[in-house]
Amino acid sequence: MKKIKDQVLVIFGASGDLTYRKLVPALFDLYKQKSLPENFVVLGVARSYFTDESFKEKMIDGIRQFAISKDASEKDVNAFSEKLFYLSINTDDGAEYSKLTSRLKNFDEEKGTNGNYLFYLSTPPNLYPLIPKFLAQEGLNEGKDKIRRIVIEKPFGTDLKSAVELNKSLLNDYEEHQIYRMDHYLGKETVQNLLVTRFSNSIYEPLWNRNYIHHVEITAAESIGVENRGGYYDHSGAMRDMIQNHLFQLLALVAMEPPTVIESDAIRNEKLKVFQAMRPLSQVDIQNNVIRGQYTAANVKRVPQKGYREEKGVDPNSRTETYVAMKMFIDNWRWGGVPFYVRTGKHLPTRVSEIVIHFKPTPLNLFVDNKEYCSDGNVLVIRIHPDEGILLKTGMKVPGNGYKVKEVNMDFHYSQLQDTYVPGAYERLLLDAMLGDSTLYTRGDALEFAWKFVQPILDYWETNPDAPLYGYPCGSWGPACADGLIEGENMTWRYPCKNLSDDGIYCEL
């Protein structure tokens, strides 16, 4: 691995939950794996008041609860905490940033960080245009042969217009290669393994096209509701929160052409072509191929669950979607005519994210009289979480007379790699940002094309108050009408369990 330069990681919004639960625990795991440079400093920045010591104490508590290496020795935790510092400033006041510049210069002199700065924006989105501009006013966006990068959490815009405006604002002061748009889904090991599965195995590539694949489905299901995020979620919804970013990024990895090399620009160029090839949806397409839903009150495992409109911070008359299922097409030679089905929802039976490749059935079903086995085609499941792994469903003969066929699972689980350390998503993405590897980050042009695709759907829902919003009980798999999206006789969505190989045997409910 390329050596990481000495540097300062500045986390704006460091008093918040993301820093406490995800960022600092991930940095500690990197420290335990000896992946951090020798001269490395984390500077938390926010309005809330902390001293260096009180910030360290809070972060140590977060490490003990949320790090993969939560059981590390006191010596290791204390040694890492010596790299943690804090600065309280008003982050929407440009005059305050001279304090940050002064603190960074002190680190360069005292800690040997050599003028290399990585800025992470874990803040409300309204600060995304402001903080980078204030940094630029201090000259912290420039430096010959120095690291000057910004990492921005989602949401990157709330619609096409705001995303374009934010991109333009950032590009006034930064080059595209300095901007890292975070999508934590891309940091998951199984997501990255998609490239390896596709492009290192010659058995898949000849089959990975319209000639052999009947359809592709991508699911991201959550078993919980909006919890305490009702105020935010009611202005977002499932389309903005999940489809436009996470699920479209997974779709691009499934559908992209092989890159010429495994490098950031080459991979992101191929992903961009997928977004450019997504067939735009007309109003008729939106009416027929996009289904939105909202969870309603129900008992789940005998425990009463609130409906979405009863959640804290949610408008009692809200028409915000907590579920979306849609059918879409990619108009290029590889995928012409192959439907892609994408769905996401809250308060579904289980928490699971996976990609399912449905291969076409054999031209002639020779075992049509076998009532226990009816092949609709082989299925390849790429499980992102939980129980990460790969599953291939295939027909096998049952021992004995005749040709009794049974569907069996051929699977691999990451949990089987007991002696192999599997890094967390933020751990991998933070390391890449420190290294300057933007492969797993979203490029501005691709992000705008993704927004361009979903914008007509958002506009249609906004301007058509009679557009259907289906209720579905908590603990169900969403509106029943979503099953009608899947083309093919006797075909429907795959209904997975949290255990990758146990589907069809039992599930959580």
Q: Which two tokens stand for residue 354?
A: 């996976």
Task: Return d(Cα 22, Cα 16) in angstroms, integer.
Answer: 10
256: Cβ–Cβ under 8 A, 6 or more apart, which residues? Answer: 267, 270, 271, 273, 274
**Chain centroid, CA 117 distance in Å:** 25
CA separation (Å) from 271 to 13, 156, 215, 450, 454?
Answer: 31, 18, 19, 11, 17
**Phi first, then psi: what are they for 458, rounded to 5°?**
-60, -40
Task: Return d(Cα 31, Cα 79) in angstroms, integer.
Answer: 10
Which parts of 267-398 are beta strand (E)? Answer: 290-296, 298-300, 303-305, 323-329, 339-345, 352-359, 379-385, 389-397
Which parts of 89-147 are beta strand (E)? Answer: 117-121
- What count of other Cβ atoms lies within 10 Å of the Cβ of residue 240? 22
CB-based contact 372:398 (threshold 8 Å): no
Helix (H/G/I), strand (E/B), else coil: 440: coil
CB-based contact 6:114 (threshold 8 Å): yes
Strands 117-121 and 7-12, sheet pairing: parallel
Task: Return d(Cα 344, Cα 353) in angstroms, integer.
Answer: 9
Task: Return d(Cα 313, Cα 318) in angstroms, integer.
Answer: 11
Catalytic residue check, 246:
yes
Q: Which two tokens stand for residue 21?
A: 């639960």
DSSP character string of 367-435:
TTT-TT---S--EEEEEEESS-EEEEEEEEEPSSSS--EEEEEEEEEGGG-TTS----HHHHHHHHHHH
Tell me the sheet residues that pair with 138.
none
Angle at 257 between CA 153 and CA 270, to 5 degrees: 40
**Catalytic: which of 184, 246, 358, 385?**
246
Q: Which of 349, 376, 375 is nearest to 219 (CA)?
A: 349
Q: Which two tokens stand for residue 287?
A: 């009416």
b/e per residue 43-56 (b: at least 16 CB within 10 A): bbbbeeebeeeebb
Tell me the sheet residues that pair with 303.
300
Q: Which residues are catalytic?
A: 246
